[in-house]
Amino acid sequence: MYQGTIALLEENAASIVRDRRQRGALDAHNRERLQKRSRDQREDQAEENEAELAHALMTDAAQPMREQVLRRIAMLDAAIVEEMMINQRLLDMLSERLALMRDNAIRLNDGRLGFDDGVGGYVDQTGRQITPDELVDAEMPSGGNAVTRYDEYSEARDRYEALEEKQMQLRSLQDQSDEIKEKLQTGEMSAEEAQRALDGLERDLDA
């Protein structure tokens, strides 16, 4: 009986040792997993820090170029505004000249204007010949002024229309310049892309 008790105690002791060894192995395994997870987290954080640093360095490096592009946009805007002001003055002058030319045109009963065709006849504002019958009740220019020559009127009118078209193109350039500036400031467009876009706008302005 005594020997049986000893055997039982030895068996229990061996079981306790096995349990401790198993728990020790499990604890070691868990510690290894925790250590690996901690290393992975540190590596991820290090990579994130490096990426943030690289982005900050790139941002700092790109800042002077963005400032240079913004100055270029400001200069282009000023040139567009100046061109628009000159163009508008020409439009105003031509508008007054055309109004005077129309005042010195013949007024037909149907509302058309008549102009001297330069060869002894008259044409309307579209260049169509006016018949003698159409001139019977027509209103001649007041004050005895000479009837406006059609070639002079059509030339001034065509010039006015060309200046109007140019003014529309200048407004379009202005809108495109504003769009480039907005995209540059929001990061939607890089400084290099903005430079290339501005090259095109400047060519259009000089055309």
63-67, 129-133, 145-149, 159-163: the lowest-pLDDT one: 63-67
Cα 73 to Cα 61, 63, 70: the distances in Å are 20, 15, 5
pTM above 0.85, yes or no: no
**Average pLDDT of the segment spanning 65-74:** 92
**What pLDDT, on the 0 to 100 scale, is given for residue 207?**
80
pLDDT at 50 over 50: yes
Pick from 184, 164, 177, 180: nearest CA to 205: 177
pLDDT at 191 over 70: yes
pLDDT at 60 over 60: no
**For residue 116, which phi and psi values (nearest 5 degrees)?**
-70, 125
**Average pLDDT of the segment spanning 92-104:** 97
Which H helix or E strand runs over 81?
Answer: helix 2-103
